[in-house]
Chains A and B, each alone.
Chain A
């Protein structure tokens, strides 16, 4: 069991490391967001008396890159199915749960690494962590976000036969999860409609926790963020493991 989890995890890491365009592409996007949004909206934000927008935005962009990377790594199961490799893992004498867990952990690790790189890049934009503790707590939230969306991606991929639904998932799931999470704007004083939607978005709690850890600008209590995220990780992992166990070729 542990061997299977380990090789699945390792494979995910190797694949990620070897696809340089993905690594670079995964960095270009957060940089663009930090540069365009951070610099562009900074003056307006400051004029509204909210302080430094870049400080506010950085945790949101880290969460964004983790969300995207983790989801893609989970959804990669469809590629494995299409290119045939999935058969090799499913016919091996190991449990589906082990395969699913290995893949989740691999995808999450890759996503956290990506998040750490963005965190380092944000130093260029003037971010200074308050303490080692705040970075460590930030890592906890980054890990939770990564686990949540890696397992979520696998759950979705288990129900998809091919890549045709991918655009749908991108536009109707990943984008809304990101834009409605409070990654880009503060949660205080929102109009009711969008306020309600943000409370239903799982990423909201991840972003809020990460922001609280890194900058102290949280909306909910960190304990609530931690509890919600941990519970969601457990639920999606269970659902993902169940759906993956039902995959037929």
Chain B
């Protein structure tokens, strides 16, 4: 498989390219003319306050949402023109749950493997391997509804690996998890990045996590990228000592929207716009 080594020639290859990406919801501009480029094999952290437009960007990158304007290329494939081809190359862990609670861990994985066209004789081996990566192999036969939040999260990560993607999108993979599980998840992710050269595109609200894992950081606010670079570049530019301070300096200190979690806001939005 398929992993790319972290090598000099790989630094040149870009994995994700967005140009002039814009998404409007009526009068609201959720994503405002964003351009970015993510080199292959790096860990790229996309940081921003609630409602900044991170998830909207990820949905557009992964062909779930039609951009109002702009282009996206993923592993050299135009996402708008060839969504199916692009979809085979990335895995995604959504901000909110996307498992079927009434199926077992193994069945959820198998469902995914069939949808992604993993050959039958390969399925079991790949699923077992992915479950081992997240330490869930002994729970494979259990219904997902009996899992804790952290186990579900790990299962979603395992599932996103079954089709051997080159790029992995992780939308707040550790929100709501205990420190042990968070550390465990990031270790797995770091390992995938190192061993398989997988490009990781992640969002998180935990600055120290981003600081520990990311090679490149982009900070987004009100749908626009306000800063981009390595962590030391950002600290230097803002004359701060930690990423958190740099983040606060760049995005201001006022609180965005209500304190409700984004899932609550989604629910609320659904109620308001049936």
Contacts and interface: CB of A to CB of B under 8 A. Distances in A.
Interface of A: 3-4, 6-7, 11, 14-15, 18-19, 83-85, 87-95, 160-162, 164-165, 248-249
B17 interface: no
Nearest to A3: B114
Given A18-B102, A161-B274, A83 B115 contact: no
| Interface of chain B, main secondary structure | loop
Nearest to A89: B115
B88 A84 contact: no
B222 to A, nearest CB: 22
A7 B115 contact: yes
A45 to B, nearest CB: 42
B136 interface: no
A18 B145 CA distance: 12
B270 A93 contact: no
A93 B118 CA distance: 11
A13 B83 CA distance: 29
6 contacts: A15-B102, A19-B102, A83-B97, A84-B99, A93-B116, A161-B270
B84 A14 contact: no
Contact of B85 (A4, A18, A87, A93): A93
B65 interface: yes
B30 to A, nearest CB: 13
B98 A85 contact: yes
A162 B107 CA distance: 26
A87 B94 contact: yes
B114 A162 contact: no
Most buried by B among A18, A93, A164, A165: A93
Contact of B87 (A7, A14, A91, A162): A91
Contact of A7 (B96, B114, B271): B114
Contacts of A3: 114-115, 117
Contacts of A88: 98-100, 112
A87 B100 contact: no
Contact of A14 (B92, B102, B115): B102
B97 to A, nearest CB: 4
B103 interface: yes
A185 B135 CA distance: 60
Interface in B104-145: 107, 110-112, 114-117, 143
Contacts of B94: 84, 87
Most buried by B among A84, A88, A90, A164: A88
